[in-house]
A and B are shown apart, each in its own frame.
Chain A
Amino acid sequence: MATTTPDAVPLSIRELTADVGFVRRILRGRKWYGTEWYITVLGGTILVVITAATLLAPVVAPHDPNEFIGAAFTPPGGGLQTLVARSGESPVAPGAELSGQTVGVQRNRNGSNLAKELELDSERYQNQEALLDGLAGGEVDLIFLDQDVAKELVTSGSGFEVVIQELGRRYFLGTDNLGRDITSRLTWGARTVLGVAISSALLASVVGISLGLLSGFAGGRIDRVLSLTMDSIYSFPGLLLAIIMAVMLGPGIFNVAVAISVIYIPTFFRIVRGQVLSIKESLYVEAARSLGAKSRNILRMYIFPNVIPSVVIVFSLNIADAILTAAGLSFIGLGLPPDVPDWGYDLSKGHQFLVAGRWWMITFPGVMITLVAAGFSLLGEGLSEILNPRLSEN
């Protein structure tokens, strides 16, 4: 084999190995690791952003996730109120005090909350028609209307005029059927989801991998007993098993994680055991034995690292699956305590209102679950490509 002189190394490679800064190194990562690099970075970014957002939830989230802050079913971006009076009778100059005036509000609309918050004397009407009649009939001096309704009303020349625009809050992703802010629920809910999903996947992988290694490596009776046990767990319907476990353990984030992890232990076990069985017979393990390596070291340095790439992928898929299982548990009320915001719960609640046109209740939690699951999959897949020295070349 000819020795390579430094001159023979192409310029691009010398550039690559040049000592450059951290950021530039990340940008150049693709040259080392191929396209997987971007996939990994993308997946990592998604997860970092979501994790950071949920850790900063007290700062980032606009509202308390459990507070009935707005009206039910405020669509995304909605919630702002307009103060409307009869034309020519606007009783307040912009910026003046509203006290002493009676404000008409509509039931189950953001205006009623706003009036309460501003401590105004308010009159409540059952629907929009009654509200407008009340204003026209002089029962109240002012009314709160949703911004888009007000805009339509004023432009159609109905004898009303706008006093103040853009009062109150805007709900970026809308509110749910109880008037809770979806943005806040998603931000806080990420904690639950990441907590449950990651801890259940970690638990399942630690137990599954250890048992798989033991079973594959030791063989014999241990292997038979463990395989039989795992197969019987595997043959059980997953959600049913999780339900039984959840009933036994009771509510709580950690208990849900344990209940879910039980379903996934056999998946890890089977994959690891199969890999161990084939790696155990490989020539490099035999070579290690011929050099007098201890069984423990063979397991640790030869078998375990070679099992990891296939486990990483199962791990990321498992996390995605665990989120959905957790949602399923929440759906039948066995998951988390009701005051814990949870995407899965929101998702299962929201689907009832989809037919009524409230698409935002189910869409945003769904998108978030997909994003997190995709984030883990991309990260897992990309990492396994990069970390596995066999795949990194050719």
Chain B
Amino acid sequence: MAAPQDSEVLISVRDLTVTYSSHWGPVDAVSGVSFEFYRGEILGLVGESGCGKSTLGKALMRMLPQSAGIEGEILFDGEDVLGYDDRQLRNFRGRRISMIFQDPMTSLNPVQRVGGHLTEAIEVHEGKRSKAGLRERIGQLVERLGIQRSRLDDYPHQLSGGMRQRVMIGLGLALHPDLIIADEATTSLDVIVEAKLLDQMREIRDQFQVSILLITHNIGLVAELADRVAVMYAGRMVEVGSVYEVFERPLHPYSVGLLNSVPNIELGEREELYKMPGEPPNLLLPPPGCRFHPRCPEAMPVCSKAEPALLPVDGSRLVHCWLFQDHPEVAEA
């Protein structure tokens, strides 16, 4: 496995804030997120429902609804994604970055054959091709993913959920993008199909050197597949680090709680699952200071007054918590 820190930076996100407007006022679904994403790495993005994981993923592709406001900076391979016009954006999507959606049952066009989906994806970006050449290319692609070539003439409803999801992955891969965003890509699959798919995704990464952003609730999946993990809470990134470090010794109290909440088949010694007290905050009125402090078992006075920064702890790991940084003067007062 490539050591990601040595690799080239693929995406650099600076102070990304995504604002949805609601009836009651603006809501920051993602606020002030900064991180780096390396070429060829698999980054797991975990957190509770509604913490902004999917919004962050969509923001990277600029797939947000028009009413959503994006601020900050997304540099993809050095280019400013937020400055793209429509044509550049279309060219960017699919060719540089592609997305695998949560529900394979509904993410394929029911009236288009499997082969048609793949052909279209390629022709959109590369123009008309010779039929035979194209057929050969998509044939190889789906065989690589364990689907028989003859299934190319089937309609999506004739495939099983796992096969559809592999077709979606095929669509994501068809143009050899640099980044694939897998938004809950395996959530609706059974564990056996899921395990196979994970193997394939890893193989794909090794073979094509694509980066994969794995957005999921499934901590086990991240542990299995990802190189690094980012934990989000209430629109903030609270901890980023290598999977080994974070899962071995989580630093942010939220990460600790999240990992303790994961069901384990060998639960015995803990008797009961850890239940984090409280609810995620209402993002219309986020709590002052650190957004986690009302639920935090280690909350200090400073936590409700000022917001910590996402700063490195022990070298490569980033943590967003006052426990690991110097308290500012103002907060002490």
Q: Which residues of A contact B (CB under 8 A)?
A: 1, 3, 282-284, 286-294, 297, 301-302, 305-306, 388-390, 393-394
* A284–B108 CB distance below 8 A: yes
Q: Interface size bucket, B side?
A: 35 or more
List B244-277 residues whose CB lies under 8 Å from chain A. Answer: none
| Among B63, B103, B109, B157: residue with most chain A CB under 10 A | B109
Which of B89, B120, B157 lies in contact with A301, CB distance below 8 A? B120
> In the assembled complex, which residues on chain A have CB atoms less than 8 Å from the CB atom of B171?
287, 291
Closest residue on chain B to residue A394 by CB atoms: B157
* B111–A388 CB distance below 8 A: yes
* B124–A297 CB distance below 8 A: yes
Knowing A1-B162, A287-B99 touch, does A292 contact B91 (C-beta < 8 A)? yes
Knowing A283-B101, A389-B157 touch, does A292 contact B90 (C-beta < 8 A)? yes
The 0/1 profile, CB within 8 Å of A marked 1, for residues 164-177 of chain B is 00001001000100
Closest residue on chain A to residue B160 by CB atoms: A1
Q: Is B94 an interface residue (CB 8 A)?
A: yes
> In the assembled complex, which residues on chain A have CB atoms less than 8 Å from the CB atom of B175?
291
* B106–A284 CB distance below 8 A: yes
Which of B94, B102, B106, B163 lies in contact with A291, CB distance below 8 A? B94
Would you call the interface of chain A mostly helix, strand, loop, or mixed? helix
> In the assembled complex, which residues on chain A have CB atoms less than 8 Å from the CB atom of B120?
288, 293, 297, 301
Q: Is B98 an interface residue (CB 8 A)?
A: yes
Closest residue on chain B to residue A305 by CB atoms: B111
Q: Is B155 an interface residue (CB 8 A)?
A: yes
9 contacts between A and B (CB under 8 A): A284-B109, A284-B110, A286-B107, A287-B101, A292-B93, A292-B125, A294-B90, A302-B109, A302-B112
> In the assembled complex, which residues on chain B have CB atoms less than 8 Å from the CB atom of A297?
120, 124
CB distance from B240 to the nearest CB of A (A): 25
For the complex with contacts A290-B93, A390-B155, 6 further pairs of A-B residues with Cβ separation under 8 Å are: A1-B162, A1-B163, A287-B168, A291-B121, A292-B125, A301-B112
In the complex, how many residue pairs between chain A and chain B have their CB atoms under 8 Å apart? 83
How far apart are the CA atoms of A291 and B120 in the complex, in Å?
10
Closest residue on chain B to residue A282 by CB atoms: B106
How far apart are the CA atoms of A389 and B168 in the complex, in Å?
19
> In the assembled complex, which residues on chain A have CB atoms less than 8 Å from the CB atom of B293?
none
* A389–B94 CB distance below 8 A: no
Knowing A301-B109, A306-B109 touch, does A292 contact B148 (C-beta < 8 A)? no
CB distance from B145 to the nearest CB of A (A): 12
CB distance from A283 to the nearest CB of B (A): 4
How far apart are the CA atoms of A340 and B5 in the complex, in Å?
85
CB distance from A241 to the nearest CB of B (A): 34
* B107–A284 CB distance below 8 A: yes
Closest residue on chain A to residue B196 by CB atoms: A1
How far apart are the CA atoms of A283 and B95 in the complex, in Å?
19
CB distance from B91 to the nearest CB of A (A): 6
How far apart are the CA atoms of A284 and B162 in the complex, in Å?
16
> In the assembled complex, which residues on chain B have CB atoms less than 8 Å from the CB atom of A291?
93-94, 98, 121, 124, 171, 175
How far apart are the CA atoms of A301 and B109 in the complex, in Å?
9
CB distance from B281 to the nearest CB of A (A): 28
> In the assembled complex, which residues on chain A have CB atoms less than 8 Å from the CB atom of B89?
292
The 10 closest A-B pairs by CB, nearest first: A292-B94, A291-B94, A292-B93, A389-B155, A290-B99, A283-B107, A292-B90, A305-B111, A283-B106, A287-B107
* B162–A389 CB distance below 8 A: no
How far apart are the CA atoms of A312 and B154 in the complex, in Å?
24
* A305–B106 CB distance below 8 A: no
How far apart are the CA atoms of A284 and B89 in the complex, in Å?
19
CB distance from A217 to the nearest CB of B (A): 14
Q: Is B61 an interface residue (CB 8 A)?
A: yes
* A287–B108 CB distance below 8 A: yes
Knowing A291-B121, A291-B124 touch, does A393 contact B157 (C-beta < 8 A)? yes
CB distance from A342 to the nearest CB of B (A): 39
How far apart are the CA atoms of A301 and B168 in the complex, in Å?
17
Which of A3, A286, A294 lies in contact with B101, CB distance below 8 A? A286
Which of B95, B102, B107, B111 lies in contact with A292, CB distance below 8 A? B95
> In the assembled complex, which residues on chain A have CB atoms less than 8 Å from the CB atom of B94?
290-293
List B191-238 residues whose CB lies under 8 Å from chain A. Answer: none
> In the assembled complex, which residues on chain B have CB atoms less than 8 Å from the CB atom of A393?
157-158
Which of A290, A293, A294, A389 lies in contact with B110, CB distance below 8 A? A389
Q: Is B92 an interface residue (CB 8 A)?
A: yes
> In the assembled complex, which residues on chain B have CB atoms less than 8 Å from the CB atom of A290?
61, 63, 93-94, 98-99, 101
How far apart are the CA atoms of A3 and B146 in the complex, in Å?
10
CB distance from A275 to the nearest CB of B (A): 13
> In the assembled complex, which residues on chain A have CB atoms less than 8 Å from the CB atom of B157?
389-390, 393-394
Closest residue on chain B to residue A388 by CB atoms: B111
* A283–B103 CB distance below 8 A: yes
Closest residue on chain B to residue A288 by CB atoms: B109
> In the assembled complex, which residues on chain A have CB atoms less than 8 Å from the CB atom of B111?
305-306, 388-390
How far apart are the CA atoms of A301 and B120 in the complex, in Å?
10
Knowing A291-B171, A292-B91 touch, does A390 contact B110 (C-beta < 8 A)? yes
| Among B92, B99, B163: residue with most chain A CB under 10 A | B99
